[in-house]
Amino acid sequence: MQPIPNNSRTNIINDLSTQQFDVLIIGGGITGAGIALDVASRGLKVALIEKNDFASGTSSKSTKLVHGGLRYLKQFDFWLVKEVGTERSIVHKLAPHLVVPEKMLLPIIENGTYGTWLTSFGLKIYDILAQVEGDDKRKMLDKEEALDLESLLPEKILNGAGYYAEYRTDDARLTIEVLKTSLNYSAKIINYCKAKQFIYKNKKITGITAFDSIENKNFDISAKCIINATGPWVDNLRELSKKNRQKLIKGKKLRLTKGVHLVFPFKKLPVKQSIYFDIPDGRMMFAIPRGKTTYIGTTDTAYSDNIDDVRVNQTDALYLISAVNNMFPSIDLTLNDVESSWAGLRPLIHEEGKSAGELSRKDEIYESKSGLISIAGGKLTGYRKMAERVTDLICKKLDKEFEIETKSIQTGELILIGGHFKNYKEVKQYAELVFIQIQEFGFYKLDAEILVHKYGKQTGLILQKFNELTDDDIEIRMAKSELWFCLKYEMVMTPLDFFIRRTGRLYFDIQSIEKLKQPILTEFSNHFDWSTKKLKEYTHQLNSEINKVKVFS
Pairing mode, strands 188-190 and 46-49: parallel
360 domain-assigned: no
**Is 54 in the same domain as 176?**
yes
Q: How far apart are CA 50 and CA 60, in angstroms?
A: 14
Angle, CA 338 vertex, CA 337 and CA 339 arms, to 5°: 110
- Residue 544 sits in a domain whose CATH number is 1.10.8.870
**Is 275 in the same domain as 345?**
yes
**Is 464 in the same domain as 518?**
yes
Q: Are 267 and 273 in contact (CB under 8 A)?
A: no
- Residue finishing a domain among 132, 148, 168: 168
- Residue finishing a domain among 289, 318, 350: 350
**Is 546 in the same domain as 493?**
yes
Q: pTM value?
A: 0.95
Q: How far apart are CA 505 and CA 296, in angstroms?
A: 17
Write the single-letter amino acid at 242: K
510 domain-assigned: yes
**Is 430 in the same domain as 480?**
yes
Is the link from the previous residue into 206 a cis peptide, with omega within 30 of 0? no
Domain range for 387 is 6-58+172-252+365-402
192 domain-assigned: yes
194 domain-assigned: yes
80 domain-assigned: no
419 domain-assigned: no
**pLDDT computed for residue 176 by the predictor:** 98
496 domain-assigned: yes
How many helices and strands in the chain, by DSSP H and E?
A: 17, 18
**Is 147 in the same domain as 50?**
no
Domain count within the chain: 4
392 domain-assigned: yes
What phi, psi does 363 have (nearest 5°)? Answer: -90, 155
**Is 141 in the same domain as 264?**
no
Per-residue pLDDT of the chain (553 residues; tens, 9 = 90+): 554 544 489 999 999 999 999 999 999 999 999 999 999 999 999 999 999 999 999 999 999 998 766 666 666 667 777 777 788 889 999 999 999 988 999 999 998 887 888 888 888 887 887 777 778 888 999 999 999 999 999 999 999 999 998 899 999 999 999 999 999 999 999 999 999 999 999 989 999 999 999 999 999 999 999 999 999 999 888 888 655 444 444 556 788 999 999 999 999 999 999 999 999 888 899 999 999 999 999 999 999 999 999 999 999 999 999 999 999 999 999 999 999 999 999 888 765 555 545 455 577 898 888 999 999 888 898 899 999 999 999 999 999 999 999 999 999 999 999 999 999 999 999 999 999 999 999 999 999 999 999 999 999 999 999 999 999 999 999 999 999 999 999 999 999 999 999 999 999 999 999 999 999 999 999 999 999 999 999 999 999 999 999 877 6
- Residue finishing a domain among 288, 323, 350: 350
